[in-house]
């Protein structure tokens, strides 16, 4: 990807990773980008690096604009390897003694990652750095989503370099929100749901803090995906909504099945939910990736989980999903369970125990049926769905 000028004297010199399909358990069928930014001023500054395998491409992009050895300052907003892996190659090319600005935890992490003795300059919230005509402001964003994370704000241009905040795993030759032919918001929602959901309380506080600072943000440049140029307020408003986990009148029915009995129960539950006017989406765990399911969970009022009993326990894909969801800690959800069984039938109770441990509000003791559900059992499942739909309508105000 050739460098792209995003404002006078400011360039995205990052790279596209078109072929990555999995990002630590999160499906990325559209690839991703590792964005890095070059500011030309009295002190030429590079903000962030890229994944190790793309370091030479980053250096070539810089060289298309300026001799890399003329870079005066490097800033590392986040030390995760998709942004710091290329740092050794970059620092070797521009000069190991060049100042490297990062948070205090960033310095600790980089020293643990790499043996090089770099010229660290740790910064904290409120610290500033003059580049000449421009001024950088630093804001620590601890645990959003690593303890070293921080934002860098370019005051005169109103540009927020937001590290892993406000990003999407989406590779594109078009770099701006107003240049895309697709709606990028579903990709941003998936990114939030799978990367940042766990830190929603911290993100809500951060958004409030940024609002009080009255920065006058005119552009948001994340380290993944497209740049918010036309309407940065759109993604800020979405993060506010997602961080508060505002639910829609919507239910997700997540399940796996062995001989289609649990699947038949899922279909009947969905039918009952639909008849109440609640939006419902059945999601078979071997047809949908868990990261896509979590994206739907983000704004759902209820999560219904179904599993056949397998060796006196949960079906493996269901156990995997529950573990994944538990780690992300969704809040303000109704929970329910169902499933078929042969001779023991523990799965429903095991699901309910997991949902209760996640602090879901359980709507019943679940519904289960031995072997193949007959018409009476399916009617009971449909009634179960209707009852849950009524609870959703009761708990979620009409928009």
Question: CB-hemisphere CA count at 13 Å for 278?
Answer: 34
Which of 17, 57, 80, 148 is the catalytic position? 80
Contact 161, 217 (CB under 8 A): no
291 closest CA partner among 168, 183, 176, 180: 168
Q: Which of 83, 137, 145, 289 is catalytic?
A: 145
The rounded distance, in Å, linking the Cα atoms of 249 and 396 is 6
3-class state of residue 381 by DSSP:
helix
Rounded Cα gap, residues 71 and 95, in angstroms: 9
CB 52 within 8 A of CB 81: yes
**Catalytic-labelled residue, pool 34, 41, 78, 346:** 78
For residue 213, say if its preceding peptide bond is cis, omega within 30 degrees of 0.
no
Residue of 24, 376, 394, 398 marked catalytic: 24
**Selected catalytic residue, list 224, 263, 296, 354:** 224
Specify burial of residue 399 (Cβ count, 10 A radius: 0-12, 13-18, 19+): exposed
Q: Is 192 a catalytic residue?
A: no
In terms of Cα–Cα distance, which of 285, 397, 256 is closest to 332?
397
Cβ atoms of 43 and 72 closer than 8 Å? yes
| Residue 42 falls in the annotated catalytic set | no
Catalytic residue check, 82: yes
Tokens for 331, please give them: 């809040």
| Distance, CA of 64 to chain centre | 32
Nearest-angstrom CA–CA distance, 194 and 26: 7
Q: Which of 57, 164, 263, 296 is catalytic?
A: 164
Cα 307 from Cα 216, distance rounded (Å):
50
CA torsion through residues 175, 179, 182, 184, sign: positive
Active-site residue, 164 included: yes
Tokens representing residue 207 in the block: 């958004």
| Catalytic-residue membership of 224 | yes
Strands 26-27 and 150-154: unpaired
Of 205, 166, 208, 218, nearest in space to 187 by CA: 166
Which residue is listed with tokens 């979590």?
294
Copy the structure tokens of residue 250. 């919507």
What does the block give as tokens for 293?
A: 């399911």
Set 11, 26, 191, 199: catalytic member? 191
Q: Which among 82, 148, 256, 296 is annotated as catalytic?
A: 82
Q: Is 169 a catalytic residue?
A: no
Is-catalytic flag, 170?
A: no
Q: Active-site residues: which are they?
A: 24, 78, 80, 82, 145, 164, 191, 224
């Amino acid at each position: 990807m050739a460098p792209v000028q995003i404002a006078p004297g400011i360039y995205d010199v990052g790279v596209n990773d078109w072929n990555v399909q999995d990002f630590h358990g999160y499906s990325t069928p559209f690839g991703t980008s590792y964005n890095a930014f070059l500011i030309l001023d009295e002190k030429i500054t590079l903000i962030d690096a890229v994944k190790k395998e793309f370091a030479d491409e980053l250096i070539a992009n810089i060289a298309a604009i300026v001799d890399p050895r003329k870079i005066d300052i490097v800033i590392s907003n986040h030390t995760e390897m998709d942004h710091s892996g290329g740092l050794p190659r970059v620092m070797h090319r521009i000069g190991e003694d060049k100042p490297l600005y990062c948070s205090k935890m960033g310095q600790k992490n980089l020293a643990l990652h790499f043996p090089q003795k770099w010229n660290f300059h740790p910064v904290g919230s409120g610290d500033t750095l003059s580049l000449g005509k421009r001024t950088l402001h630093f804001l620590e964003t601890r645990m959003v989503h690593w303890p070293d994370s921080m934002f860098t704000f370019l005051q005169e241009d109103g540009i927020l370099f937001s590290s892993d905040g406000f990003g999407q795993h989406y590779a594109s030759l078009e770099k701006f929100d107003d240049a895309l032919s697709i709606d990028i918001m579903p990709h941003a929602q998936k990114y939030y749901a799978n990367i940042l959901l766990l830190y929603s309380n911290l993100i809500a506080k951060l958004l409030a803090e940024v609002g009080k600072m009255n920065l006058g943000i005119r552009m948001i440049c994340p380290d993944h995906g497209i740049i918010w140029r036309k309407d940065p307020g759109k993604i800020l408003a979405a993060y506010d909504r997602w961080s508060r986990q505002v639910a829609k009148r919507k239910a997700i029915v997540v399940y796996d099945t062995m001989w289609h009995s649990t699947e038949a129960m899922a279909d009947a539950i969905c039918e009952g939910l639909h008849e109440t006017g609640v939006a419902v989406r059945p999601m078979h765990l071997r047809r949908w990736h868990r990261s896509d399911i979590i994206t739907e969970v983000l704004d759902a009022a209820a999560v219904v989980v179904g599993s056949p009993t397998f060796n006196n326990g949960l079906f493996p894909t269901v156990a995997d999903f529950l573990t994944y969801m538990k780690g992300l800690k969704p809040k303000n959800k109704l929970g329910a369970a169902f499933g078929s069984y042969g001779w023991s039938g523990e799965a429903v109770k095991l699901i309910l125990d997991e949902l209760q441990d996640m602090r879901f509000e359980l709507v019943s003791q679940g519904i289960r049926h031995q072997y193949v559900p007959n018409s009476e059992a399916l009617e009971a499942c449909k009634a179960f769905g209707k009852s849950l739909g009524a609870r959703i309508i009761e708990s979620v105000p009409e928009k």
